[in-house]
């Protein structure tokens, strides 16, 4: 587990970031991360193939297996899921639920997307794309 930085002011705690390089941490987080990702994918109405693409190109068969037994995800996969969860949360802060759940799969005229869907953008650009979308949404909600 990450520890609190020594420069934290008295009475203030930083969010701890899980150490995804540790096997024990990845074992503990993997199934709940997959369950959360699949719930978000269902809300967004995206296919199993697209879920595999979000995770870096995993096959449909692998995604189906993960539904019941995720095993231990790689650091990369958990990082991707973390971004998806953050994007989902930010969208639900910014927009009504129905709109928030459609945002990733609708064409977007923001210069970042150039008319494509945010989902296609993040699949094509991987973790940097997920980070850009997350940053865009965090900026829209005032950085909170």
pLDDT tens track for 34-91? 999 999 999 999 999 999 999 999 999 999 999 889 889 999 999 999 999 999 999 9
Q: What is the pLDDT of residue 78?
A: 96
φ and ψ at 140, to 5 degrees? -65, -30
* Mean pLDDT of the 121-126 span: 97
What count of other Cβ atoms lies within 10 Å of the Cβ of residue 6? 5
* Other Cβ atoms closer than 10 A to 56: 14
pLDDT confidence band for 16 (50 / 70 / 90): confident
In the chain, the percentage of residues whose pLDDT exceeds 90 is 78
Whether residue 94 contacts residue 87, with contact meaning beta carbons closer than 8 Å, is answered with no
pLDDT of 84 reads 98
Distances (CA, A) of 5 to 8, 10, 79: 6, 11, 22
Would you state the pLDDT for residue 14? 54
């Amino acid at each position: 587990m990450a520890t609190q930085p020594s420069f934290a002011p008295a009475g203030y705690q930083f969010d701890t970031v899980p150490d995804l390089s540790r096997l024990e941490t990845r074992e503990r987080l993997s199934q709940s991360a997959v369950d959360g990702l699949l719930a978000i994918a269902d809300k967004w109405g995206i296919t199993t193939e697209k879920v595999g693409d979000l995770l870096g190109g995993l096959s449909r068969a692998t995604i189906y297996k993960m539904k019941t037994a995720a095993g231990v995800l790689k650091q990369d996969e958990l990082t991707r899921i973390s971004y998806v969860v953050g994007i989902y949360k930010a969208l639900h802060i910014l927009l009504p639920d129905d709109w928030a759940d459609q945002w990733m799969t609708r064409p977007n005229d923001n210069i970042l997307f150039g008319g494509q869907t945010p989902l296609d953008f993040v699949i094509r650009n991987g973790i940097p794309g997920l980070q850009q979308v997350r940053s865009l949404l965090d900026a829209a909600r005032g950085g909170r």
